[in-house]
Amino acid sequence: MDRRTFVKTLGVTSIAGLAGCTGGPTENDGDTENTDGGSASVAVVYATGGLGDGSFNDQAQTGLERAKEELSIQTEHSQPSDTSEFSRFQSQYAQSTSPDYDLVCCIGSLQGDPLSDTAPQFPDQQFMLVDANVDEPNVESYQFREEEGSFQVGHLAGLLTTDGLSTGAASTTDATSVGFIGGKENPLIKKFEAGFKAGVAYTDDSIDITSNYIGSFNDVTRGKEAALTQYNNGVDIIYHASGNTGTGVFQAAQEAGRYAIGVDSDQSKTESKYADHILASMVKYVNIAMFDAIEGVVEESFEGGTATELGLEQEGVKTVYGEAIGSEIPDEIKSKLETSKEQIVSGEISIPTDPSNV
């Protein structure tokens, strides 16, 4: 028995109530998928919004798919329906010996606290974590400067509600008013809100900003209701940071004839039926973090205990204009965004991470 197997056996003994088998989650454990491969075995525990959100989880999956194609890896994934399941999935993958996973990827900030408990129990299991930092020697952490990308789309929304726009299937009103809709109200999502508000205020601090939190990353109905209320109150453009809840924001934009800004992925492509209403997306390149971590395992260069932070300078976040109507945004406005980007990268613009400081 090698040291890793021994440690995993201890893990099985110490965690009561788990599957009691040597494989990863295989039954009664949510949605899983196996794919045969070769150079490494990788397990993924997605965030609760699940695959098909056209946003955060799907962006992570893009990195996994690239790794499967280019690195010939074996993969399995789980989609917890509740945050209480994170610890169980992390532990079951870590203690699996059939297969013996080379890397367990944990997607989303809410996996940080569970992983802080799980990682020390399996010191020879390599983990990567997105959106939080766990200071353990077997964890590679990746975080993003969401406030920087959100500032840019806030700047865009501020300029367009001020100047006015009518293109695609939508138009702005005579009001100067924009909105933000978040999923769960936690420090990570508040970084999105803070950046957006700062970008709007940078344009003109008299612009009205309405913020709502839904309390879920997967409640399309409530997302639509909140967005419709904002639009009916005169909001021109809504930026969401709410996972699959954002699908409701796009539905509301379509119904109200207004605009929305997507998040994490280019949602004018992933939610293409609403492309006539999606001005832009604040893309967060989780896929690159995912691929880089897996490549590091395959090339035996995994660096546990490290924390990587990606912002505008590293192109970890970026404003991507909508595929259908982005070309209609005036060049003058795009030029102003390029200037504010340069000012952020140079440090001339400092962006708060707490909306109460805007």
- 74-78 β-sheet, strand order: 32-35, 74-78, 41-45, 103-107, 127-130, 139-144, 306-310
Q: Coil, strand, or helix at residue 227?
A: helix
Distance between CA atoms of residues 140 and 43, nearest Å: 15
Query: Is pLDDT at 160 greater than 60 in this prediction?
Result: yes
pLDDT, mean of residues 250-279: 97
Query: How far apart, in whole angstroms, are the C-alpha atoms of residue 319 and residue 10?
Result: 47
Q: What is the pLDDT of residues 298-350, one digit of tens each?
A: 999 999 999 999 999 998 999 999 999 999 999 999 999 999 999 999 999 99
Read off the pTM. Answer: 0.84
Question: In angstroms, rounded to a whole number, what is the distance separating the alpha carbons of residues 251 and 256?
Answer: 9
Q: Give backbone dihedrals phi and psi of 246, rounded to 5 degrees, phi first.
A: -65, -20
How far apart (Å, rounded) are the C-alpha atoms in residues 162 and 88? 49
Nearest to 280 by CA among 292, 295, 291, 265: 265
Q: Who wins on pLDDT, 85 or 55?
A: 85
Output the average pLDDT for the chain.
Answer: 90
Q: DSSP 3-state assignment of 126?
A: coil
* For residue 8, pLDDT beyond 80: no
Res. 28: pLDDT tops 60:
no
Owner of token pair 């040597």: 22
The span from the CA of 341 to the CA of 119, in Å, is 37
* pLDDT average, residue stretch 97-112: 95
pLDDT value at position 38?
Answer: 67
* Paired sense of beta strands 41-45 and 74-78, if any: parallel
- Cα–Cα distance for residue pair 344/315, rounded to 1 Å: 13
Average pLDDT of span 2-8: 32
Four-residue CA torsion sign, 224, 53, 104, 191: negative
Q: At what angle do helices 220-232 and 246-256 cross, to 10 degrees?
A: 40
Give the tokens for residue 312: 């505008």
Closest CA to 98 of 25, 158, 28: 25
Name the token pair of 78. Answer: 């789980």
Q: Please choose, from the candidates 78, 95, 71, the residue with its C-alpha nearest in 3D space to the C-alpha of residue 19.
A: 95
